[in-house]
Amino acid sequence: MLNVKNLSKTFLKGTPNEHTALQNLSLHLEKGDFVTVIGSNGAGKSTLFNAIAGSFLCEAGSIVLDGADITYKKEHQRAKQIGRIFQDPMKGTAPDLTVEENLALAYAKSMRNPFTSARRRKDVDFYRAQLARLDMGLEERMRTKMGQLSGGQRQAVTLLMSTIVTPKLLLLDEHTAALDPVTAQKVLEITKDIVSENQITTMMITHNIGQALHTGNRTIMLANGRIVLDLQGTERENITLPELLEMYKEKAGKVLDNDRMLLSDAE
């Protein structure tokens, strides 16, 4: 489904601030994989997502999605097949438009004719049914502007917008990190339900190690722009935090010193 091969990206090349963010990184995902991504700050997690989404081009390597080479495709072209949700609940939505209008914009991607209205009566009924599944009462607030919703409500609607037309790949960039614990757990459960029901190939960045090891079917850990751990199956199910930290130290050549990750796991 997704083949990333030998990706390399260096920022500010040739300057005193030169930084290699990705180092010959390779990754293969099967259709339906749900991969959690962890690593300390600066490990290359968001850079990897940006490379896949087309936010910039890499100096070397290739990206193939569902058999099509997208290495040099522009970001807006990739967006037709790749859904992405950011940590900021306001990203990816139009705050001055209503919930219904935001969903209509996202749904319009599926129309053969881009000028066809996505606000027909049957479509509005469809949006209402999808919102009802969130169990947040948003089906009764379709005329409310997005900017007036709470962070959790906005993120739940953003999730619907990213999956209302099933993407080939879904990128979740710490999409629950800005929410309170109860709301974050609810949004995560909604995420897992939608991903499972539609068999969407998914990658999710998280700073919560426990969450990473119990969500999806695979966990990869980055350090210095490369994948140092790739856990799945019984190895992933049975690994303890001390064992994970020791494996990281052995593979990365350094101790994991990200307090946010360690404290999140302890909560």
State pLDDT tens for residues 194-240.
999 999 999 999 999 999 999 999 999 999 999 999 999 999 999 99
What is the C-alpha to C-alpha distance for residues 64 and 62, in angstroms, rounded to an integer?
A: 7
Cβ contact 124:114 at 8 Å:
no
Query: Residue 259 pLDDT > 70, yes or no?
Result: no
Q: Range of 98's domain?
A: 94-166
Mean pLDDT of 147-176: 95
State pLDDT tens for residues 53-69.
999 999 999 999 999 99
What is the C-alpha to C-alpha distance for residues 78 and 70, in angstroms, rounded to an integer?
A: 7
Could you tell me if 43 and 172 lie in one domain?
Answer: yes
Query: Residue 257 pLDDT > 80, yes or no?
Result: no
What is the C-alpha to C-alpha distance for residues 252 and 255, in angstroms, rounded to an integer?
A: 8
Domain count, the chain: 2
Query: Residue 251 pLDDT > 70, yes or no?
Result: yes
Query: Residue 94 pLDDT > 60, yes or no?
Result: yes
Last residue of a domain, one of 106, 133, 166: 166
pLDDT score at 260: 57
State pLDDT tens for residues 98-128.
999 999 988 887 554 444 555 577 889 999 9
Asked whether residue 88 is assigned to any structural domain, the reply reads no
- Residues with Cβ within 8 Å of 62's Cβ and at least 6 positions away in sequence, in order, are 3, 4, 5, 6, 7, 69, 71
Could you tell me if 197 and 246 lie in one domain?
Answer: yes
pLDDT score at 91: 86
What is the C-alpha to C-alpha distance for residues 17 and 20, in angstroms, rounded to an integer?
A: 10
Could you tell me if 237 and 105 lie in one domain?
Answer: no
Q: Could you tell me the end-to-end alpha-carbon distance of the chain, in angstroms, rounded to an integer?
A: 35
What is the crossing angle of helices 181-198 and 151-163, to 10°? 10
